[in-house]
Amino acid sequence: MSAVLDCTDPATWGPSVDEAVHVVTRGGLVVLPTDTVYGIGADAFSPPAVAALLAAKGRGRQMPPPVLVPDVRTIDGLCADVSDDVRALVAAFWPGGLTVICRAQPSLAWDLGETRGTVAVRMPDHPAALALLRRTGPLAVSSANRTGHPAATTAQDALEQLGDAVGVYLDGGVAPGGVASTIVDATGPLRVVRPGAVPLDALREVADVAGPEAGPAA
């Protein structure tokens, strides 16, 4: 039976985060609040756990999940050839609503799906999510909903959609919802591939970023 555990107050959420860490360590799935919507998370380095995450959502390997990280410095452990422009963007907008797609470190022992050697990385701006990530390390995280259904903005929303496929639901209250993260493809010339929480004008104050109308990089 899945547990819904309170994590609204840093002074009292310790046992809830402990249980979520325990579930992740055992290869299970957790639901966690983020600064956008609730996410369903798994150990990014456990291929069976990532496969279970995709199965819980009803999603195939052709749609690999992004990876949430607890710290800007984590990007160097996951991504190869991180440019100065990418470093400037994450320094400006992490934690927050910016996801960057980079080339993955080839030495990493993981299987997120059909990534073509890339990884999408974000540091969320949510205290409970960061508290969990600091304990677990990078998590593969996708929105906590069945594919084709609305993204969950409460733990109860997520529970109704995902049920016992998830071991622990961390209840941080109502997530802000609204706008998803902006996704920037950094595997070539920087380009927005999904507009979102961080406007293009703000990105361009930091680095030379093309808009989505520029089309795929050659």
Give the pLDDT confidence of 151-200 residue by residue, as tens digits. Answer: 899 999 999 999 999 999 999 999 887 678 999 999 999 999 999 999 99
| Greatest C-alpha distance within the chain | 51
Helix (H) or strand (E) holding 201: helix 200-204
C-alpha–C-alpha distance, residues 102 and 118, integer Å: 5
Q: What is the pLDDT of residue 84?
A: 96
Reported confidence tier of residue 2, pLDDT bands at 50, 70, 90: confident
**More confidently predicted of 16 and 2:** 16
Q: Which CATH class for the 3-214 domain?
A: alpha beta
Alpha-carbon distances, residue 65 vs 16, 40, 149 (angstroms): 24, 10, 17
Q: What is the pLDDT of residue 218?
A: 40
Contacts of 75 (CB under 8 A, 6+ apart): 69, 82, 86, 87, 90, 100, 102, 121
Backbone φ, ψ for residue 76 (5° rounding): -70, -25
Contact 17, 11 (CB under 8 A): no
Average pLDDT, the chain: 93
The amino acid occupying position 53 is L
79-85: average pLDDT: 95
**Does the pLDDT at position 79 exceed 70?**
yes
Reported confidence tier of residue 216, pLDDT bands at 50, 70, 90: low
C-alpha–C-alpha distance, residues 182 and 190, integer Å: 12
Reported confidence tier of residue 214, pLDDT bands at 50, 70, 90: low
Reported confidence tier of residue 140, pLDDT bands at 50, 70, 90: very high
